[in-house]
Each structure stands twice: as structure tokens, then as C-alpha cells.
Amino acid sequence: MLEWFLGRWRATSRKIPASPPASVSPLAPETPGWPAHVAIIMDGNGRWANQRGLPRVAGHRAGMTRVREVIQACHEWGIPCLTLFAFSTENWKRPPHEVEFLMRLPEEFFRSEIDELVERDVRVRFIGDTHRLPPHTQAIVSRTLERTQGNRGLVVNFALNYGGRADIVEAVKAYAAEVAAGHANWDELNEERIGQRLSTAGLPDPDLVIRTSGELRLSNFLIWQAAYAELWFTDVLWPDFTREHLAQAIADYQRRKRRFGGIK
């Protein structure tokens, strides 16, 4: 699957304009192509609501509009893969009523958006321990996977009950089980074999990780996969994040020189 992504990325990078939409300053012609995988930590819904005297859940609902807009932008611009941090393994610590609301949001979102996602040839994936989710949330996850599994366009990963450390632990457990069954050897364990057992197996590592709301940390998000990702932070709260902000993040990414520990 990784080979398919790389092939599609090369093909789309030749037909995508060298610069983002007109609302962003044009880029120099020597800038590199757009990222193959963009990952976003969607932060600031609660603060957005508090600033307006609204309950925190109002911010989460407002954030859904931005999810729709970002997916549409990535589809139109030919970005092959988008990962959205929807709910972390640590978010269970939040007040029960807020957690319950967050567990209902996937139903609301996919019931209203699934037909358009199918029409746009978007394939939806979920990473994280979805087995801990409430039955009604698991049901919409299953239906969404079934409806979009044959699509070949933009892949959208929703990180739902996801934690980067847990992802690595599960990968090691999977390899240990193979060793116990006699199908693998501990001496052969390396980074590639760990990567093949992560929840993002088959997808390119994120090139660009965006976090909204002014916080400057990864918060246990794709910590293995994002080892060499370019990080982009903004004070803009997620419900105010538009495709223009996304275009600016991509423009800044294109201006950076990625050396991966080497020298250019």
C-alpha cells in the first residue's frame, strides 16, 4: 500500500499548482512538492466555546465544520493522506458528560457527511483502540469503514482513542506473539518491523504535523511516525482554522529544508 501512496503522490505533485490558493503569498518556483501526509492535532474547541460564553460541547460541534473543510481542501489539492487527532487515550479523564458528547459526535458527523465522502472517493480509516468505544460509536465506525473501504482517493485517518505510546506497545506485543508462535525472531526486530505493526502500517509517515490553539507539544500523537515530521503551530483555535490556515502551513512546509539528519 505504501508503494501505491508514493506513486499517487508523485503523480499528483506534478499537477498540483506550485503555490497554495491566492489568499496565501505565492511560493518561489524552487519549492518542493506538497506533503504526502498531513496530520493535525485539533485543539482549542473548549477555549473557543469559553470565550463566547458557551458550553465546551458547543466548541466541539463547531469544530466539526473545520473537519469538513480540511477534508475538502486536502481532497481538492491532491494530498493523499490526512490524519486527524479526534480523541486521545488521555481524554477519558474529561468530565463524563463531555466524553459522552464526544462519543456521539462521530455518529452526527458521518451520518451527515458519509455520502459526500463516498462521492469524493475518500477512504476513512480509524487508528486507536476502538474496542473501548461505546457500542453506538463502534457501530458508526464499522459502517463508515464498510461504506468507504473500496475508495481509492484521499485517505482520512481518524485517531479515536489513540495514544502514540500505546501504539508502539501494541506493535511490540504483536511482534512478541509472532516470536512465541515461531514466526519471527527477536534478533530480527528493527524499526521497519515495528513500523509494519503500528496502526498506520502501509501509510507514509506524516510530513507535516499541525497543532492549533497555541500549545507547543505533540501530546502523545504519532510519536513514532512523526520522528522527522515538520511541526507547525498556530494560536488559532480549531473552530477558527480555515483552509487558508492550512494553505499557509503547507506553504511554510515547502520553504523548509528537510535533511533527515544529513547535510544538503
Q: Which amino acid is at 191?
A: E
Strands 155-162 and 208-211: unpaired
**Biggest alpha carbon–alpha carbon distance for the chain:** 59
Q: Give the residue from 10, 94, 69 showing the smallest Cα distance to 238.
A: 69
For the chain, list residues with pLDDT below 50: 2, 4-6, 8-31
Counting Cβ atoms within 10 Å, is residue 146 exposed (0-12), middle (13-18) or buried (19+)?
exposed
pLDDT at 22: 41
* Contact in structure between 39 and 229 (CB atoms under 8 Å): yes
CA distances from 216 to 3, 13, 209, 231 (A): 33, 30, 11, 9
Q: What is the CATH class of 34-163+206-255?
A: alpha beta
Catalytic residues: 43, 91
Mark out the alpha helices in the chain (DSSP H runs). 2-15, 45-51, 56-77, 96-119, 135-148, 164-180, 191-195, 243-255
Counting Cβ atoms within 10 Å, is residue 90 exposed (0-12), middle (13-18) or buried (19+)?
exposed
Cα separation, 189 vs 192, whole angstroms: 8
* Contact in structure between 83 and 37 (CB atoms under 8 Å): yes
